[in-house]
Structure 1
Amino acid sequence: MSGADLGGPPTVGPLEPWPATVRWQPISRDLIWVQLIRMGVLLAVVVVAVALGWAFSGHWVFALVLGVVLLLGALRAVSVVRAVRAWGYAEREDDLLVRHGLLVRRLSIVPYARMQFVDVSAGPLERAFDLATVQLHTAAAASDARVPGLRPAEASRLRDRLTALGEDRAEGL
């Protein structure tokens, strides 16, 4: 029996989907392109290195490695698309929820009162796609959370809101 069956709040087990009682905010799908480009550059370097090894040695092992690398690259491309769609965040009264993951689902709950500071960052590739990442820092490094793939205006809004809420909640401690 769950908490909802007993008249209490619904409970979510570790194997159940994300909490349905929360209004999840998705991240930008443009992050898919950022991730695919990063992966493509790395894949190209590995393919060129393996192809050169094959060309100079002529050994069949290099052909096998090349095939495996290309197959793994295709599988990773599919998983990148699905992984980006799994990201989401939700602002609640006392905390921020951040979810992500396909095979291993991760739900981070960061209380506003525990936040020490909030960063907004954007590398060259993210800036090219007009994206930014919000990074939350707490006293416990293991509880840090990040929300990638946000438009800069939304990242700034979220940073400012989280900072204000963190300061308000910390005053009561």
Structure 2
Amino acid sequence: MLPLHGDGGADWRPVSPALARVRRVSTSAVLLPVALALGVAAALLWPWLAVGSALVVVIWAWLMWLIGVQVRAMSWAELPEELAIRRGRMWRRLVTVPYGRIQYVDLSSGPYMRRAGLAEITVNTASPASSGTICGLPADVAEELRVRLAARGEAQRAGL
């Protein structure tokens, strides 16, 4: 059994810290215009809307901190028989995907992720419960991992 904390002898690799910046930019692109709109509406229409604007700014500040904590808690490891993906500080989650159950591996990257040189790998199996996603990998590492996982999945499936 793999531990949710500690290394357990596995070579745990963290995701790129640039993922935090990408997520902060995405969050700011949504919340700061809302805060600004509420502030303008408070000045022009109803002063109590300033409370909503202040609340959105407080939520934004809390999310800026939380995103950093979440990204630092993400890691992954290639084990002899499976891929392990770990995330979370308070609510820890460990997903292991046996190589023999891998059906296909997706590589995706949105506009902010591409600009930061990052990509996301999604390992798909027949059961959604045993599928897993690794966000925030450097694009070249993600492509190499996709090829390696697809090859391991094919090799292990052929042995069944």
Same fold (TM over 0.5): yes
Return closer, same or farther for 1:86/1:112 CA change in 2, 3 Å cut-off: same
1:132 aligns with 2:119: yes
Deviations 1:26-68 (A, max 9, x none): 11111111001001101122112322331332232x1211111
Cα RMSD for the two superposed structures: 1.6
Larger radius of gyration: 1
Q: Give percent identity, aligned residues only.
A: 33
The ranges of structure 1 where at least 4 consecutive aligned residues each deviate by more than 6 angstroms after the TM superposition are: none
Which structure 1 residue ranges, 5 or more long, are not aligned?
A: 1-9
CA distance in 1, matches of 2:108, 2:80: 25
Matched residue, 1:7: none
1:36-115 map, 5 Å: 36-60=24-48, 62-115=49-102
**1: CA distance between counterparts of 2:89 and 2:57?**
22
Distance 1:168 1:98 in 2: 21
Q: Taking structure 1 as the reference length, what is the TM-score of the superposition? A: 0.86
Task: Select the structure with the greater relative contact order (CA < 8 A; seq sep ≥ 6).
Answer: 2
Structure 2 alignment gaps of length 5 or more? none
Q: How many residues align?
A: 160
With normalisation by structure 2, the TM-score equals 0.93
Counterparts of 2:44 and 2:91 in 1: how far apart (Å)? 41
- Distance 1:11-1:167 versus aligned 2 partners, 3 A rule: closer
Partner of 1:5: none
